[in-house]
Chain A
């Protein structure tokens, strides 16, 4: 069971350094740092097939 509900994940436009997404109803900008708990959970859900990160606009 996912402890965070993550939707609308998309890399930001300037580079792939951050991911804009909604976590538990709050829009956040998550850095691609493996030590960041939100990024860690995004990658876990991606690996599980539960989440897709859209390319930047």
Chain B
């Protein structure tokens, strides 16, 4: 596409010139949790590597995928998601399927005007390629509020990077509440079966309340340990035109992702903040997040002998774990009252004290 054509497409797309991508981390740059994990049903399933991307082994299929951030990417991109089959499973049945999904927050989708006669079309674009896997895959959508509606189309990757797109019409009947819950599921379905319970027999041309998890021509990414699938540059925008991918600074994507997940610390000698002795055996402190989170987050701390420590009054007091008390979308108060021995009223600085110490906050959808 020429520069003039790109500009014409942007102007004609009825969408904003910036902040038009409703997908977060579509360039696969941010990976707060880590850059690789082996995922199978109930093992690392969910959010395990790249921020905002959930790998779902739905209804217990076999097989396993190495889910990693790759530097194999098309021109103009630094990263992609790589999914490599590490354990094969030739057959799936019933409702079993494997999909990569992003859940989009409902209040960010109000511009689509779903449920009204003015509902807007959306266009999804992405780059993908595959090794020893010919697909097809299914691009599938699902609304969540009210009566769910579905839309599914089949796409076939090749062995070279290429850009794909699909335009989905609006729905005058689907419901997307104006809240902080899930508004839309955008799924790349990578494994299923032609006889699957919710396998659609043809590409959707309109939203339907008939459940369509994927197309019945679906391939099976876990059919062989030689199979690999790569994807990046995922963009979801209002309008009927796939405009050029909207690149954004790493820090902007990181901040967007931290609304849903935030790793406060990992490793030793990482500062937490001020702590004070409520009494001789109870030290209190608090965590503040860098941005307002979507909901009060789940807190996770690794635990072990002397993983955390408070320095006060020319000495220190180590403790093994953190108990979280009162949380909000801005902060979480915390304490330890099982390992502490100090002097009521004294204060100090709390920090991590072991390479394996880690504290995370999760408000994902």
Contact = CB atoms under 8 A, between A and B. Distances in A.
Interface of A: 1, 5, 12-15, 17-18, 20, 24, 26-31, 33, 35-39
Interface string B50-74: 0000000001100000000000000
A1 B59 contact: yes
A3 to B, nearest CB: 8
A18 to B, nearest CB: 6
Contacts of B362: 38
Contacts of B296: 31, 33, 35-36
Contacts of B325: 12, 14-15, 17-18
Interface in B264-311: 294-301, 303
Interface residues of B, number: 28
17 contacts: A5-B42, A17-B325, A24-B42, A24-B43, A27-B303, A29-B298, A31-B298, A31-B299, A31-B324, A31-B327, A33-B295, A33-B327, A35-B181, A35-B294, A35-B295, A36-B298, A37-B365
A14 B335 contact: yes
Contact of A26 (B59, B297, B300, B364): B300
B180 interface: yes
Interface in B20-62: 42-43, 45-46, 59-60
Closest 5 CB pairs of A and B: A35-B295, A33-B296, A31-B296, A29-B324, A31-B327
Contacts of A27: 300, 303
B181 A30 contact: no
Given A14-B323, A29-B300, A35-B294, 15 more contacts: A1-B59, A12-B323, A13-B323, A17-B325, A17-B326, A18-B325, A20-B323, A28-B298, A28-B299, A29-B323, A30-B298, A31-B297, A33-B327, A36-B295, A38-B362
A27 B301 CA distance: 8
Contacts of B180: 35
Nearest to A14: B325
B315 to A, nearest CB: 26
A33 B299 CA distance: 13
Contacts of A38: 298, 362
A57 B297 CA distance: 23
A5 B362 CA distance: 17
B254 interface: no
Given A30-B298, A36-B296, A1 B324 contact: no
Nearest to B44: A24
Contacts of B46: 24
A31 B298 CA distance: 6
A6 to B, nearest CB: 12
B292 to A, nearest CB: 13
B297 A18 contact: no
Contacts of A39: 298
Contact of B297 (A13, A17, A24, A36): A36
Contacts of B43: 24
A36 B327 CA distance: 11
B185 to A, nearest CB: 13
B181 A17 contact: no
Interface in B142-199: 180-181
Nearest to A17: B326
Contacts of A37: 364-365
